[in-house]
Amino acid sequence: MKELRRLEAAAIRSTAALASGSADGASLVILLFHRVLAEPDPLLPSEPDAALFERQMQVVAQCFRPLPLSEGISRLRAGSLPRRAVCVTFDDGYANNLEVAAPILLRLEIPATVYVATDFADGGLMFNDTIIEAIRSAPADLDLRDVGLGHLQLCDSRSRIAAIDAIIQAIKYEPSGVRIERLSSLLRAAQKASLPRLMMTEPQIRTLRRLGFEIGAHSATHPILRSISHSESVSEIHRSKERLEGILGESVRSFAYPNGKPGQDFDLSHVGIARDAGFDFALTTSWGAASRLSPAHQLPRISPWDQTAARFALRISAAYRQRHFHVAQ
């Protein structure tokens, strides 16, 4: 492999095998991505483009044992998980999961699971992307003081990234109605009349499934579940499952909590809703590896951000030792 010398890759495989444990005490690393860009985007520095993602997946193919997520979880529970087992997942349901990531994964024979926030499958845009696209084309002097978001000076990509991060954090946990109102004010101030289509459509979701990728539910509108009522949470979780099952014509067995931090973004009541909805397992964004003792409806994932192949591989290897047991209360 070009990115890792043969001896270096062998050493990483050996390290990962030792860290991941024996079959009956093995740990499973689940990787979390969101989108894979066709080209680098200065406003999305943490998202891999196609070239970087291919390098990362070459590492996964050479140094680890990629498995379909459903198989990985099943074998983890059965005590038959191979050493160096890893699964690839994506959250939200971006069209570039199909258009950019899928060809790379198919070429390298790496399975993956995509979690879809279903209300955006008709051309909607998630709130964070609305902010990104508004700030992308906003004038350099942007006055948002009337909605409590400050007077922004957007002179370069760095200042626009800082503004995006600040606005996302300011409204992420707001009630839906307040968040929509502040987003509308942002779009008006930024003079943004139209927004791009970034999410998969229903036909694209079906195409991804026909290609062999697993599809999971990620709520309907991607709310912070702890910020909405119990009845709204039930609706969000059940509607996403029902919508996907209608699209795919098959049962949808897994769920990923929006944002995904136990105790902060969801709690045990939401775990119960996911279980009662009929999901076999559910994923969080807690950092670490899953073990046989990890609760089936609170499985951890990692998001390796490294730009070099060796660091990417070593971070995954290290994650096997970080068996995660923190759960929502």
Those residues with Cβ within 8 angstroms of residue 89's Cβ, 6 or more apart along the chain or in another chain: 30, 31, 32, 33, 69, 112, 113, 114, 115, 216, 256, 283, 301
| Strand pairing class (214-217; 113-116) | parallel
Residue 240 lies in a domain: yes
pLDDT score of 242 = 98
List the domain range (segments joined by +) for residue 169: 127-189
Per-residue pLDDT averaged across 65-69, rounded? 97
Whether 166 and 223 share a structural domain: no
Residue 202 lies in a domain: no
Residue 56 lies in a domain: yes
Q: How confident is the model at residue 10 (pLDDT cuts 50, 70, 90)?
A: low
User: Does pTM surpass 0.85?
Assistant: yes
For residues 194 and 216, the model is more confident at 216
- Using the predicted structure, report yes or no on whether residue 19 has a pLDDT greater than 80: no
Percent of the chain with pLDDT over 90: 74
Whether 112 and 150 share a structural domain: no
Three-state secondary structure call for residue 90: strand
Whether 134 and 101 share a structural domain: no
Three-state secondary structure call for residue 213: coil
Residue 158 lies in a domain: yes
Whether 226 and 269 share a structural domain: yes
- Using the predicted structure, report yes or no on whether residue 274 has a pLDDT greater than 70: yes
Whether 131 and 106 share a structural domain: no
Whether 114 and 148 share a structural domain: no
pLDDT score of 16 = 56
